[in-house]
A and B are shown apart, each in its own frame.
Chain A
Amino acid sequence: MVSALTPGWERARRSHQITPFLFIGPALLVTAILAIAPTIQLVRASTRAWKLGQPLAQAKDVGLLNFERLLTGSVPLGHSLKLTLIYAGVALVAELLLGLGIALLIDRALAGRSLVVTILLVPMILMPAMVGMIWKLYFSQEGLVNWALSLFHLPQPNWYSTDFALSAVILVDIWQWTPFFILILLAGLQALPREPVEAAEVDGASRWQVLHSIKLPLLLPLILITATLRVMDLFRSFDVVFVMFAGGPGNATETLPIAVYRTTIEQQRPGVGAAYSIILIGMMLLIAWLFITLLQRYRTEA
């Protein structure tokens, strides 16, 4: 029985059926509507021969033709899939290795760590549109990058060409997001328990042995979580690639997100674009599942 003498928290516990929903429900409702409405639209559009500006209901039902076009038609899904994997894979490996190395280095700095961290925050928070635009200038034939290469007597490629455009985009991502790994892994390194490291040092372990047998295994869950987070952003990255090359030249930088734009706007085939979007969302769900599995395992360990 609930009386005036019952403690407040006890009363709250008993009335728990409805109260939590008053707190969580509104947020769930708003986000669900914002997520489900476009998804329904995508599913409907992906089965129709739809023209932009035409009411969707009037568009002809073509079944799975839009998806078939992804595989066999003029819009090569395989190509964008391959580019997305190269783009995400190369950027991820480079950023992870550089980030880990630099984090280990900063961890051993004697002073000024917080200043270094503050400086490294900046690339990540700059407007992606501006980042793309400015690096496009730096990568031009007579730009800063090629000038720097000439100082070392290195070849100066045409970064705007089919062969090098994707590399330019990847290099920009490495500049902007290596700090992401540096900062998270540095925080992880500094939170490591000191006892195992000190014990190993007393036993005469070399710095490499400490790193290899103690620090890296302890850091592994964090490395995996950070890498998955980064992959999720790389797979849906649109703005910088769009501003720099918009998928071109030809389709040299046409990653999955760019393919959504190109089929929908440039080729005026939003039905095919919707099919692309559904595949993109499906891939995100797959990586999200991996991420959640990692996060859960790590949390129960911690």
Chain B
Amino acid sequence: MSLAQPITGTPATIERRGGIARLGRARRDGSLLATILAFAIAAAFALPYLYMLLSSFKTPVDNIALPPKLVFTPTLDNYRAITENDALFRFLRNTIVVAVGSTALAMLFAVPAAYGLVRFRLRWREGIAYLFLVMQLIPAIAVVFPYFDLARRLHLFDTVWVLIVTYTLWNIPWGIWLVRGFIQDVPRELEESSMVDGTSRLGAMLRVTLPLAAPGLTAAAILLFIGAWNEFTLAFFLTTREARTYPTSIGFFLTHSGILWGEMFATALIGTLPVVIFAILVRKTFVSSLSFGAVKG
């Protein structure tokens, strides 16, 4: 509610808000102190991240200085050093391939399944949805060593394929739960009227429902992408060299002469920037999807 709202407006709108008598109360609903505190808290949560951003432009000497230097001569040396690191570049390429590939594969399976769970009157509909949810809850660390063994036997170890495929165990269920909510928001009647005109079930889904749910599908895809982009456990144990991904590059910065903090900060920043931008794009659906749809964002 904005500051000016209770004061301005026609008598009719004031009446709708509860009448003149409650104006003072409506105004006390928000407070300046709460606003200032809210921003202070947000700043406190942002601080470790902002400090990382700052440190990525510091020289090794400035980086270990105490008290921390807030004013310093910025350098691009850290970024220069990591762009010259061929392995890191390969890791980044692998991460993009794995994140895009596993998201596309998961959506290919999740979208029709979510549609089916919403639109067909099945006896086991809820049960199947919860079965997917339970599979999404399997801890990665519990299955990664069996996957390690299976991947070796199938000659998939240390390939991007093993990550693209195994990620779908979590991404298909997660995708189904996300997409289900967005399909529920599309009125059934729109589809039924087009099916009266002779469109098939598949045609109705592809030409009526999915285009209307497109913003939601995009948000779901972005959320799956973020998860795959950040994934560490499977990537760490199922790859060694060729298919290694960006989050597993942390070992690079532990050298015999100490830890290369500046380069690590720069690497972390490059690795998190795309995800931060994506998350801001989908922030409206982010909250409702975090809660398995328990709140609408």
Contact = CB atoms under 8 A, between A and B. Distances in A.
A133 interface: yes
Contact of A127 (B145, B147, B230): B230
Contact of B295 (A30, A31, A184, A243): A184
A105 B30 CA distance: 9
A239 B267 CA distance: 18
Contact of A38 (B112, B116, B146): B146
B226 A198 contact: no
Contact of B145 (A7, A118, A264): A264
A152 to B, nearest CB: 14
Nearest to A29: B109
B171 to A, nearest CB: 9
Interface of B: 1-3, 18, 22, 25, 29-32, 34-35, 37-39, 41-43, 45-46, 48-49, 51-52, 64, 66-68, 109-110, 112-113, 115-117, 120-122, 126, 128, 130-135, 137-143, 145-147, 149-150, 165-166, 168-169, 172-173, 176, 191-192, 194-201, 204, 226, 229-230, 232-233, 246-248, 250, 253, 259, 261, 264-265, 267-268, 271-272, 275-276, 279-280, 283, 286-288, 290-292, 294-297
A187 B261 contact: no
Contact of B280 (A118, A134, A238): A118
Given A23-B113, A122-B49, 7 more contacts: A27-B176, A30-B172, A106-B34, A125-B279, A134-B265, A235-B139, A270-B145
Given A110-B30, A116-B39, A238-B141, A19 B195 contact: no
Contact of B286 (A23, A111, A121): A121
A11 B203 CA distance: 14
B78 to A, nearest CB: 14
Contacts of A7: 192, 195-196
Contacts of B43: 119
13 contacts: A8-B198, A8-B204, A9-B195, A23-B112, A27-B132, A110-B3, A110-B31, A121-B280, A175-B48, A191-B295, A202-B22, A273-B145, A288-B133
Contacts of A239: 232-233
B265 A292 contact: no
A47 interface: no
Given A31-B173, A142-B64, A111 B3 contact: yes
Contacts of A298: 294
Interface stretch (A73-81, A158-166, A277-285): A277-285
Interface in A172-221: 175, 178-180, 183-184, 186-188, 191, 198, 201-202, 221
Interface string A27-54: 1101110110111011001000000000
Which of B2, B145, B290 has the largest count of A CB atoms less than 10 A from its CB? B145
Nearest to A197: B29
Contact of A26 (B46, B109, B200): B109
A104 B171 CA distance: 33
Contact of A184 (B31, B46, B194, B291): B291
Contact of A134 (B41, B48, B135, B143): B48
Interface string A286-302: 01100110011010000
A250 interface: no
A23 B48 contact: no
A112 B288 contact: no
A232 to B, nearest CB: 6
A132 B48 CA distance: 12
9 smallest CB-CB distances across A and B, nearest first, come from A8-B195, A23-B116, A236-B139, A38-B146, A27-B113, A41-B146, A277-B142, A34-B169, A38-B143
A110 B35 contact: yes
Contacts of A153: none
A109 B38 contact: yes
Contacts of B2: 110-111
Contacts of B3: 110-111
A210 B163 CA distance: 50
Contacts of B150: 37-38, 41
Which of A42, A122, A296 has the largest count of B CB atoms less than 10 A from its CB? A122
Which of A20, A118, A264 has the largest count of B CB atoms less than 10 A from its CB? A20
Contacts of B121: 13, 16
B132 A31 contact: yes
Given A187-B297, A260-B142, A125 B275 contact: yes
A62 interface: no
A30 B109 contact: yes
A19 B201 contact: yes
B276 A122 contact: yes
B168 A127 contact: no
